[in-house]
Amino acid sequence: MDKATLIKITQDLIQLDTVNDHEEAVSDYLATLFTANGISTKKLTYAPGRTSLIAEIGDPTSKQVLVFSGHQDTVATGDAADWPYAGPFSGELHAGRIYGRGAADMKSGLAAMAATLIALKDAPLKGRLRFVATVGEEFGAHGARELTEQGYADDFSGLVIGEPTGQKLIYAHSGSIDYTVTSIGKAAHSSLPETGINAITNLVKFITAEAHAFDDVAPHPALGDFVHSVTVIKGGTQVNSIPGYAQLAGNMRPIPSFDNAQAIGRLQTIIADLNQQPDVNLKLNVDFSFVPVLTAQDDPLVTALQASAQQVTGKELIEDVIHGATDASEFTKSAHKFPVIIFGPGDWSAAHQSNESVSVANIVNTQKIYQALALRQLS
């Protein structure tokens, strides 16, 4: 696909406001684009105004299915004053970069993937190249979870997620667990604390225990340390009352050698032990649980992407890991196992930032590498 068209698709996608919702606007745009190029699509409704989109080219009878996937939603824009180039949804091109919310994370990746399907529409592929655009990745990966539960990941042969990687080849990422702990106490006047049960005091007992509960967890060779933090705490209503309710939220980043079940089990043990103490009533709720993703560096999909990058740029990609979760955490919950790589045109450092932008050169190179990869895997 020519550079000007690729730039326009990226700009058009950025100009659609899909902040944590409204993804159907992107689905409709892409469906229209695909249809105009002779590619049929399927929209799957998650909620009113929120749809995932699937498109596919190649041999429909083949069991070889290479999947390009990305999310359609973005995080909030923040203060509009922090966006000097005509606002967060301008998609303005300036000095070789396109600006706007989602430019890096990850509408440029979606644009490059969609352009690859269009470019290869009439290629003699012996396998299938599938495009999957999801809803809600930024707040729970709802779309990927729903698609996986409905069996849409059960025939993947390989998955490429177009998140911003600065054109690094990401072969692994940590999981992510968000949880809340609620402390139920008994309100009382602060002059008579013995007549109440201080919910904050009991919540602090959990914080103290959590701080060293994972000291024995060894680092993973690729992903490093198991990371955990208590990040939010709420409790009390006024200074002269013993609080009868308090709540905290925390996050953990599981690794393959100490996974989600082990991490959650450790929290459950802390809660159970503390609840044996007099007047302690703590309850744990796991809000989101994204599993870690790890593909061997000698996997054929990794080596094929390296060969494709060499073909396009003459250079080898840097191989690395990240500690943010992606839709792959949900897709890989399928009983069917397949390799995953994360590779996209945006820079990880630009994601969620004010005045987010992406390099046009990176978009062009990434699209060419996607195309070379698809031909290498499916021809």
Task: Supply the mean pLDDT for the chain.
Answer: 96
**What average pLDDT does range 54-81 have in this prediction?**
95
pLDDT of residue 322: 93
Per-residue pLDDT tens digits for 54-63: 999 999 999 9
**What average pLDDT does range 342-351 have in this prediction?**
92
Per-residue pLDDT tens digits for 10-55: 999 999 999 989 999 999 999 999 999 999 999 999 999 999 999 9
Determine the Cα–Cα distance for residues 216 and 113; give it in Å rounded to an integer.
Answer: 42
3-174+292-378 CATH: 3.40.630.10
pLDDT exceeds 90 at position 324: no
pLDDT of residue 349: 86
Determine the Cα–Cα distance for residues 331 and 152; give it in Å rounded to an integer.
Answer: 9
pLDDT of residue 379: 87
Determine the Cα–Cα distance for residues 324 and 255; give it in Å rounded to an integer.
Answer: 12
pLDDT of residue 173: 96
Omega cis (within 30) before 113? no
Q: Which CATH number fits domain 176-290: 3.40.50.300, 3.30.70.360, 3.30.465.10, 3.40.50.620?
A: 3.30.70.360
Domain boundaries, the chain: 3-174+292-378, 176-290
Taking the CA atoms of 321, 322, 326 and 329 in sequence, report the sign of the dihedral they define. positive
pLDDT exceeds 90 at position 356: yes
Describe the strand order of the beta sheet including 282-290 as a list of residue ranges. 227-235, 245-253, 176-184, 282-290
pLDDT of residue 350: 85
Per-residue pLDDT tens digits for 135-151: 999 988 999 999 999 99
Determine the Cα–Cα distance for residues 361 and 378; give it in Å rounded to an integer.
Answer: 26
Res. 80 pLDDT band, cuts 50 70 90: confident
pLDDT exceeds 90 at position 121: yes
3-state secondary structure 120-174: CCCCCCCCEEEEEEECCHHHCCHHHHHHHHCCCCCCCCEEEECCCCCCCEEEEEC
pLDDT of residue 140: 85
pLDDT of residue 85: 79
Per-residue pLDDT tens digits for 290-309: 999 999 999 999 999 999 99
Res. 79 pLDDT band, cuts 50 70 90: confident
pLDDT exceeds 90 at position 180: yes
Instruction: Kindly state the percentage of the chain with pLDDT values over 90.
Output: 93
pLDDT of residue 286: 97
pLDDT of residue 88: 94
Query: At residue 159, what is the residue type?
Result: L
Res. 86 pLDDT band, cuts 50 70 90: confident
pTM: 0.92
**What average pLDDT does range 263-292 have in this prediction?**
97
Res. 71 pLDDT band, cuts 50 70 90: very high
pLDDT of residue 348: 86
By CB atoms closer than 10 A (0-12, 13-18, 19+), residue 180 is: middle
